[in-house]
A = this chain, B = another copy of it.
Amino acid sequence: MILTLLDYASAFVFALTGALTASRAQLDIVGFAFLACLTAVGGGTLRDLLLEGRTVFWIADPGIIIMACGAAFVVFFTAHLVESRLRLLLWLDSFALAIAVAAGTGVALLFAQPPVIVMFMGVATGCFGGLMRDVVANEMPIVLHQRKLYATAALAGSATAVLLVRLDLPENAALAGCALVTWVLRAGSLRFGWLLPVYRSCPKREK
């Protein structure tokens, strides 16, 4: 139940980001719907294909596709009201990431996977939709943007959920904690520049 809700919510917000990407590429309305659907269902589809015995969520419930097209429709007619579409895209994407990580983590927990798979599914479900959106639109994937937390935030979020479930908290609380940690880290990175040390080819020598 809560998992269905998470799938709907992440699909909706990811659909908005896909449609915003379509607006930056100046596509027509079906192009908006195409990129919106791809982004909305990409991560969850990968998760459902990888886990055995699970029907792909939007085939089990086609309302998801209709909702993603609706989101594309709204963006098509309102995106010109937005001052910075890139900034809106990044912030919406941060919410979609947090919800999708929780959705992926929750389904993997439901399938009683070991912790490392639960975390992997959380990160993959969170990152894959946006990754496909950016690869298809020929933009640098947000997940690889330098000097920003993204996969790191997703990993910290799903690790939080694994930990909370280990501490015998109810699963819904664990998933709420997962989404919260993911979003706070990603938002902090966007707003305050939080980051992990990155790789430098010649750390000191060249100075």
Residues of A that sit less than 8 Å from B by CB: 22-23, 25-34, 37, 45, 49-52, 55-56, 59, 62, 65-66, 76, 79-80, 85, 113-114, 116-117, 120, 123, 127, 131, 135-138, 140-141, 143-144, 146, 149, 151-152, 155, 195-203
Contacts and interface: CB of A to CB of B under 8 A. Distances in A.
Q: At the interface, is chain A mostly helix, strand, loop or mixed?
A: helix
A100 to B, nearest CB: 15
State how many copies of this chain the complex holds. 3
Given A34-B127, A79-B199, A80-B202, A27 B117 contact: no
Contact of A152 (B28, B59, B117): B28
Nearest to A49: B49
A75 to B, nearest CB: 9
